[in-house]
Structure 1
């Protein structure tokens, strides 16, 4: 009597990605992130988005979990400690049931400067990718001179040095090194074309990074 072997196929769990961003309102970066999220969602990626404001936002697919986590300082103390206090709100949100159900996250991406400041003060500081969408020299040093310029360079280096960085071009990575002395833990330059052409292999890319 012959014995047949049957094997059951266990479907692979969907890739789970967390985005943290200042806002998803007007501007080039929000449009890039919106398009990226839409494409990820269409490919079956489970996307969670934490927005650090309550500003109006672009429409996203229904399966994207979007949570507003705003923080508005009401005193001088809160103004001075705004990043730390906002980070505490992020930590509380990460522990909430809707977010915990989607974790652990395969990839965490922080977009725009305020989000970078906040995320750098959370438990995600070392695992998150910090995504820069504009030229760092003009963005951070454009109107700075003398001592103010040196202080700003120090602050920018303290924020990004040794982090995992994503920029829109290799030239931006070079400028971070040349003007700020920043050497990232890991770095990648991408474009909209790069996202579209490599999107089908997101799980492999996420496990590799």
Structure 2
């Protein structure tokens, strides 16, 4: 029997959480379900939704929709009325998510499952004693707010590690792990969207942002001993820094800075391996997509999501201790020269259909 499903997310920016939300919503709709995707405020939208999805911009204030999760947020009377008009459709499953969608909890009722895409209370490592103290205070404050916000809620996490971490903090909550999936058929079909003739040893896909540490990937590539080319698919505030570093490393004739693209798959398909050098991550969609395309991955093991994505014994050689640039460089070389094979069993674990089935059980 078709179900009515509502996703509520901050916006449709260019991140992985936004992308996997659209992909899952589209897959559900193509299976015959009635799917609505609402954004708190669409000013920062980058992605668009397929026509089969009912898209709604709630038009909430910038303060409620944007900014850090840890600032208390309340809807105005007008915003509450807008939300209630939407909820009058009597959805079988409501999924608030990303960051500030979780602040809708007091205003939602029925079958509500909060979708947590990453570690919301992660402690960032530092060697500086004063920064360590500051970081400990920050995590303590965020943890208290996290518990107050979500204890007692139904929660879907993207990794078992997050479920295990949150369970003792949220004793009144029901927690469930559902790994991110990719629509393999749609991914393969998208390979024809763009004709890509260039070949690369290494490809980086993601925001050019400080937390993604594109500089680590570049330095590792420079030190790896590889003689081929590297592509950077993405854009962001660190673009100028990255371009300066490319010149400093004398890589200007071996790096292709492609920039932001709607579909990185055709570019990834022309690379021998994907590199992920992030300081912190959730469960990156680009890693799942690379594996489904049969592209091996070399990644800092900076999150439980990445460790689970590369948990198969033959893929663990691609996991690197966080911030170990020497090991990153060495492994890039080894992976290009002797790549592991991504098996059909590996691909099944990260399929969109498997993810879809898990979510639809919540709507039953």
TM-score range, shorter chain: 0.7 to 0.9
For structure 2, list consecutive stretches of 5 or more residues without a partner in the other structure.
64-70, 125-130, 182-349
> Retained in 2: the 8 A contact 1:160–1:184?
no
> Retained in 1: the 8 A contact 2:167–2:173?
no
TM-score, normalised to structure 2, is: 0.44
Q: Does 1:25 align with 2:8?
A: no
Q: Does 1:48 align with 2:36?
A: yes
- 1:196 aligns with 353
Q: Does 1:169 align with 2:162?
A: no
Counterparts of 2:172 and 2:23, CA distance in 1: 26
> Retained in 2: the 8 A contact 1:165–1:184?
no
Find the partner of 1:106 among 82, 92, 116: 92
Q: Does 1:93 align with 2:82?
A: yes
| Higher relative contact order, chain-length normalized (CA < 8 Å, sep 6+) | 1
Find the partner of 2:117 among 133, 140, 151: 133
Number of equivalenced pairs: 179
Question: How many angstroms does 1:63 deviate by?
Answer: 3.0
Counterparts of 1:82 and 1:172, CA distance in 2: 23
- Give CA-to-partner distance per residue, 1:134-174, whole Å, 9 cap, x none: 12332xx4385354432221111111211100001111111
Find the partner of 1:61 among 27, 50, 63: 50
TM-score, normalised to structure 1, is: 0.73
Counterparts of 1:91 and 1:115, CA distance in 2: 14
Find the partner of 1:35 among 23, 26, 45: 23
CA RMSD across the alignment: 2.8
For structure 1, list consecutive stretches of 5 or more residues without a partner in the other structure.
1-11, 74-80
- 2:185 aligns with none
> Retained in 2: the 8 A contact 1:128–1:164?
yes
